[in-house]
Amino acid sequence: DRYHTKTVDIFIGADPTDYEIGQGPDLHVFGRLAEGASRDEAEAELQTVGARLASEWPETHARRRSEIVSIGALTLGAPGNLSNETELLMVQVLSLALLFVACGNVGVLILARTAMRLSEISIRTALGASRARILAQLFVEALVLVLLATGAGLMVANGLAAHLEAGVFAGEIPYWFDLGLGARSVLLALGLAVVCAVLAGVLPAVRATGRSVEASLRRTTGGATVRFGVFASLLIVAEVALSVGFLALGTMAVSSVAVDRTDQAAIDLDRYLTVRFRTRWVDPTADEAEGYAEAFRNKVAENQTELRDRLAADPSVRSVVMGETLPGYRHQERFVEVEGRPIVDLRDARRTALARVHVDFFRDLGRPILSGRDFVSSDVEGAPEVRPTAVIVNQQFARDIVGGGDVVGVRIRYASDAPPEEDDWLEIVGVVETFGVNVTNPERSAGVYHPVGAADVHPMRYLVEIGDDPMGFMPRLREIADAIDADAMIQRPESLDAMVAGMQREDAIWSVSIWLLALMGALLAATGLYAVMSFTVAQRRREIGIRSALGAGPRTVVYAIGRRCALQLSLGVAIGTALGWWNLSYIVDEYAGLPIPVTLGVVAILVTLVSVAACLPPTLRGLRIQPTEALEEA
């Protein structure tokens, strides 16, 4: 409450008459469709405008093609529509799955409640109430509960969105994005509420009222015969198993990000400034087209090299290195195999981080080669499309993947299902210390470095060692870049420690989300067991009363009404523990958290205690059944 941040947008006007044709800054145009206008109509109008521009200025617009792209797709990178994003689809499917599981559990509870009301339903039916009227009443009762839950869910979602927009993602999303709930979101939630009411209220009621009046009356006097299906039993087992597996995964993830391990990165994060340097591409005229690509590549190489040299010569700079992926960044990962050790199954391959760095990377960074040699210019000479075959690995790669010893000369390749070709193999020419590959989890720091030359990567990333206040060097860096090429762009300037903090925050959000999702699954599983116990007690009231009248003790009664839940809980915990062990053993290098046995043991005990606690109220309700009450109901 004491500190506040505010994003300020600065708009600078530009007069088109100040520039010659083909010159000037890059402009991105966005607008809103007019009322009643379709996207196809706007696209056709835009094509007409483009054709007119091409006829008036053929030298600059003849090869231009106009296209309408939604702001969401442009900003978030979706190929035309956000619904095509795999991650978003996965979240939606998982959310719907949890919703329907919850509906199933609530449906079992309503089925148990309906079973307790069979006498009422039978009497109403005998007095002339139609089945449709009874089903409508049960649907309305379920709908009221669902609407109350929907309202609470919408309030929570709106508050969470406001928190994310103002806190977690402040300054990281475009200002025109509104994460709050709109009319469509509310209507969708209300539609899902109706679906949930049908699933949780109508379907169980249809099953419970699906017999004739005479059968219903016999059922109320001779013992209820509504059965708890096999599918519902398997659903409970699956819920418990999945909750154990996912809760173990989430616990390991949370325990991994809960500890700050950046001091193990072997690099002082607060001393570096990171930027991307892009040379501007200008569409050539017809006379310039031939050879323009090669000339542009040469210009990129000159700009990149000159920027590095000028930065290195600046008295404020201690070192400057170049690469596509730099220390502290999140590295791409690939599965790798060692020559002579064929991979039968890709799951048996080891995962390693991949970094493409400038040939002078280790010299500029002052990191010595421990064995073998450093990269040389001949490693990247030749056609740009020819992949270099010389690689340098770090000590963790040499120890964990190759097996230690002298690894210089060993050949590796990135694993695939295809038979290896001779061009696939990469030769290890040197070994360096392990540093900066995975600053959030040093346990997963095996790395392979590929050499690149100037212009092999564009835009090029620069890691500039400044010392105190890296961002304070930005004005000087922009001055140097402008002196090299006024049209070149400095992109994404950020201090390395701020960037790593952002990665850690992303990991924390992801890990906590997994844990909360798994905890929700565990609570749903416990709700399912509670429903089973409630259903059992409701169905077997007369039996429990007779057992008590014949002298059965509490232990016998508890065993009679709880053995089914105990079996479901035991099977679920056992299956979930086995699946969790297999899954965590496969991805254990993902997290440097708690040991697998400890994690699974704690999670299994937690799920068991929560489930037993959920079963306790209906069990106590069954123990309180008096023999005289049960016999009177019979």
pLDDT digits (tens, 9 = 90+) for 61-105: 665 666 676 666 555 544 444 444 444 555 566 566 667 667 666
pLDDT of residue 374: 92
The pLDDT-based confidence of 622 (bands split at 50, 70, 90) is: confident
Instruction: Report the half-sphere exposure of 553 (CA within 13 A, side-chain side).
Output: 1
Take residue 253 and report the two structure tokens written for it.
């993830």
- Residue bearing the bigger pLDDT, 345 or 276: 276
What is the chain's mean pLDDT, rounded?
75
Q: Residue 613 — φ and ψ, nearest 5°?
A: -60, -35
pLDDT of residue 392: 93
pLDDT of residue 111: 63
Q: What is the 3-state secondary structure (H, E, C) of 462-526?
A: EEEECCCCHHHHHHHHHHHHHHHCCCCEEEEEEEHHHHHHHHHHHHHHHHHHHHHHHHHHHHHHH
- What span, in angstroms and rounded, lies between the C-alpha atoms of 482 and 309? 15
Kindly tell me the sign of the dihedral angle through the C-alpha atoms of 114, 117, 119, 122: negative
Mean pLDDT of 345-366: 81
**Does residue 595 register a pLDDT over 80?**
no
- What span, in angstroms and rounded, lies between the C-alpha atoms of 206 and 587? 46
Helix (H, G, I), strand (E, B) or coil at 452: strand
Take residue 418 and report the two structure tokens written for it.
């295809």
Neighbours of 305 (CB within 10 A): 18
Q: Report yes or no: 328 and 267 within 8 Å, Cβ to Cβ.
A: yes
**Does residue 623 register a pLDDT over 80?**
no
**Does residue 477 register a pLDDT over 70?**
yes
pLDDT of residue 216: 52
Q: Report yes or no: 474 and 493 within 8 Å, Cβ to Cβ.
A: yes
Residue-wise pLDDT tens digits, 567-586: 888 888 898 888 878 767 66
Give the burial class of 211: count Cβ atoms within 10 A of its Cβ; 0-12 exposed, 13-18 middle, 19 or more buried: middle
Residue-wise pLDDT tens digits, 130-143: 878 888 887 888 88
Q: Report yes or no: 523 and 247 within 8 Å, Cβ to Cβ.
A: no
**Does residue 252 register a pLDDT over 60?**
yes
What residues contact 273, with CB distance under 8 A and at least 6 apart? 463, 464, 466, 470, 471, 473, 474, 477, 493, 494, 495, 496
**Does residue 52 register a pLDDT over 70?**
yes
Q: What is the 3-state secondary structure (H, E, C) of 119-169?
A: HHHHHHHHCCCCHHHHHHHHHHHHHHHHHHHHHHHHHHHHHHHHHHHHHHC
Residue-wise pLDDT tens digits, 497-520: 888 877 777 777 777 777 777 777
* Nearest alpha-carbon partner for 262 in 19, 448, 437: 437
pLDDT of residue 184: 82
Cα end-to-end span (Å), the chain: 64
Among 183-197, 333-347, 595-609, the least confident range: 333-347
pLDDT of residue 432: 93
Mean pLDDT of 357-379: 89
Q: At what angle do helices 554-586 and 496-539 cross, to 10 degrees?
A: 150
**Does residue 453 register a pLDDT over 60?**
yes
**Does residue 393 register a pLDDT over 90?**
yes
